[in-house]
A = this chain, B = another copy of it.
Amino acid sequence: MATIGDVAREAGVSRSTASYALSGKRPISEEVRRRVLAAAEALAYTPNAGARALATAQTKVLGLLAQFHEDEFAPAMLQYILGVTDTARDLGYDTLLVTEADGARALRRITDSRMVDGVVLMNIAQDDARLPILRAAPQPGALVGLPGDCSGLDVFDLDFEEAGRVMVDHLHRLGHRELILISHPEHVVERGGAYVWRLRDAALERARQLGVTLHAVYGESRQPAVGRLLNGLLDAYPAATGLLINNEAAAAALPSVTYARGLRVPEDLSVIGRYSAEFAATFSLSYSFIESAPDRLGSMAVRQLVRRVESPAARNEPFVVRFISPELVSRGSTAPPRNAR
């Protein structure tokens, strides 16, 4: 494999000249530049990543820490990951995907060893063990998800509070007065998945203000448990006319439940979900939903991260906490409550 020394020899110049000709960081005569580029081309020269990293203290690699918990819905994660890898590549970075169970150890490993220029963290917990490590690391980091303490970090997330309110408002405006909200499993809450209670608490609060009855329950993450749960809820609250779903597995399971019970949506039951358009397509869901925009969030996180990586000025800018405002995509699954079921 050709080194820059080979290129230099082939072009009849010194190593440093070859380096400058290739990088353009100093003026080089047209003649020499041509010779160097030709030599590089002829030898199929590609700089050695390790050597370059050592010399420049830049690896052009970003770390992506993602975890696949048993009780979370894996296909939903994929969207975030692709948002990150695609944007990273657009900006000239490769992505090191780390799915290790012990995220804190993994984070320490990749930052201390300088394998990466920056890190994106996903599956953020309220009190996330990785955050102290990230704050102490020499590389900048960005979070997709809101932790309890955002200090010293760039954070990107859906505005789950507003999402909860939008759902309740929408059905209230149509005339609904009794709703069911099905959230993620309680495990997720125990693990510190704040997005669960952020949406839930805001929805409950808004329902209280509007005088709407809201039955807020934690869900399941797997079939057949989640299907049973849905059936149980519809039995338990026969007067409820609207269903809010902040739980991908429940959303995916709902069609078979309504089929089986002979329920029509939205005539007998109005439904609003919270997931991504891509997810809806994959699972053939035709409910109105709050777009959770995973690709956009992943992309935003990477852009901010790369800004900080590349600009010394940006490193000292104040940290940002940016919420995407929930957009309700209408698919016609809500209507005024015509009949009690």
Contact = CB atoms under 8 A, between A and B. Distances in A.
Interface stretch (A48-56, A149-157, A185-193, A326-334): A48-56
Contacts of A1: 112, 114, 138
A314 interface: no
Q: Tell me which of A78, A100, A113 has the highest count of chain B C-beta atoms within 10 A of its own C-beta.
A: A113
A46 interface: yes
A183 interface: no
Contacts of A114: 1, 48-50
A263 to B, nearest CB: 12
Interface in A26-55: 44, 46-54
B97 A85 contact: yes
A270 interface: no
A75 B284 contact: no
Contact of A82 (B68, B82, B85, B115): B68
A237 interface: no
A96 B115 CA distance: 11
A174 interface: no
A252 B285 CA distance: 12
A246 interface: no
A59 interface: yes
Nearest to A46: B112
A47 to B, nearest CB: 6
A317 to B, nearest CB: 23
A77 B81 CA distance: 13
A229 B116 CA distance: 47
Interface in A240-287: 252-253, 255-256, 259-260, 281-284
A99 B79 CA distance: 13
Q: Tell me which of A47, A223, A259, A282 has the highest count of chain B C-beta atoms within 10 A of its own C-beta.
A: A282
Nearest to A44: B112
A123 interface: no
Interface of A: 1, 44, 46-54, 59, 61, 64, 68, 73-75, 77-78, 81-82, 85-86, 89, 94-100, 108-110, 112-115, 138, 222-224, 227, 252-253, 255-256, 259-260, 281-284
30 contacts: A1-B114, A44-B112, A46-B108, A46-B109, A48-B54, A48-B113, A49-B53, A50-B59, A51-B54, A54-B54, A61-B115, A75-B78, A85-B97, A85-B99, A86-B99, A94-B110, A94-B115, A95-B98, A96-B96, A97-B97, A223-B281, A224-B284, A227-B284, A252-B282, A252-B284, A253-B284, A256-B256, A256-B259, A259-B259, A259-B260
